[in-house]
Amino acid sequence: MVSPARLLAALAAGALLVVALVLAGLVRTEALAAPPAPRTSARAIDAEPGTALRFDRLARTSLTWRGGPITTSTGEVVNVQVSDSLPTVTPEYWAEFLVQLTHGAELARVSSYHATLAEVQELCGARSLGCYSRNTMISLAEPALDGTTPEEVVRHEYGHHIALYRDNAPWRAIDWGPKAWATSATVCPKVTRGEAHPGNEGPNYARNPGEAWAEVYRLLEERKDGITTGNWPIIAPSFYPTEADLQAAERDVLQPWTKGTIRSFARTFAKRTPKVWWIPLATPLDGSIRITAAVPRAGRPEISLVGPNRKTVLRRASWIGQRAKRLDTTVCGQRSLFVRVSQAGSLGRVVVTAATP
């Protein structure tokens, strides 16, 4: 069961941030991209409970909107709504802006609302500049007093929308980021070391990889548009993207990971066959790994997953039948591993199947 929704506000350098909320595990509310700040700085986080983005607010608000499904110049249809308080802002502008973002099929499922600062804060919570929840984006449609542009907010929030439609099993991409970027950004090792906190919208917001992903997507899109002055004020410097991180992020958008790789290996142990069989495994992505082995009748081989140094045993397989063994574990930062089969008992054919991310 998911936790109740929470609203968190960040204050630093005179700029305000209301960070992501958790509603059904998928609600986020935040302000983005404060005036230029050193890349090594991150905003402080301060909790402000009691307000949240809720769909009932959007349904019951007295605000009026214009827009709807809009056919863009690319032929794609985007659902955009603009507040009637903004007569000079057109739904067509934002529909065109959205289709120019790097995106996939998830674009067709988003509903994007654009409003004044006061209206955004009515819907998303005090001090917020935008929010996202399960296919619905609400964004500032005019520059904020601190210099934040609505385009920055929309890019960030759309990053969350992309993550909702990406797979990073066994983790949730909305919290960890999509698989290629999360691997490149070493999210799993950071979590293991206590340096990253997926889904944390409180004191460790700056080390929440789900928020880091949204900011990386923002920078990716700004660079595509020729904007090279993008700042990094709200996320820990350890998540600032390298070139490899940006390339991985683009792959996540355009060529998202959907399933792992299954490979099989076979060897027949005979009297003169070496008693230890080393099977090298390339593991370019972090995630779940399963090793299964079919062994000879009365065979008792030890099957282990071993680190790249060929010494560290990560997991040993257990019996799951009279002639089958299996192990399940997680690849977490290791780009190559070994399966070690140590022959014991009856000789004969051993078939090892490796399912990797």
The reply to whether 270 and 245 lie within a common domain is no
Question: What pLDDT, on the 0 to 100 scale, is given for residue 20?
Answer: 34
> Which residues are CB-contacts of 281 (< 8 A; sequence separation ≥ 6)?
263, 336, 337, 338, 339, 354, 356
- 1 belongs to a structural domain: no
Which is more confidently placed, 307 or 1? 307
Residues 245 and 304 in one domain: no
Average pLDDT of 280-301? 97
> Would you call 233 helix, strand, or coil by DSSP?
coil
Residue 316 has pLDDT above 50, yes or no: yes
Is there a contact between 181 and 248 (Cβ–Cβ < 8 Å)? yes
What is the per-residue pLDDT across 227-280, written as a single tens digit (0 to 9) for each? 987 788 889 999 999 999 999 999 999 999 999 999 999 999 999 999 999 999
Mark whether 238 and 275 lie in a shared domain.
no
Tell whether 154 and 289 lie within a shared domain. no
Q: Which domain holds residue 237?
A: 8-254
Same domain, 109 and 32: yes
Burial 54-72 (b: 16+ CB within 10 A, else e): beebbeeeebebebeebeb
- Structural domain tally of the chain? 2
**55 and 138 Cβ atoms separated by less than 8 Å:** no
**pTM of this structure:** 0.84
Give the residue from 205, 188, 212, 258 showing the smallest Cα distance to 21.
205
In the prediction, which pLDDT does 52 show?
Answer: 40
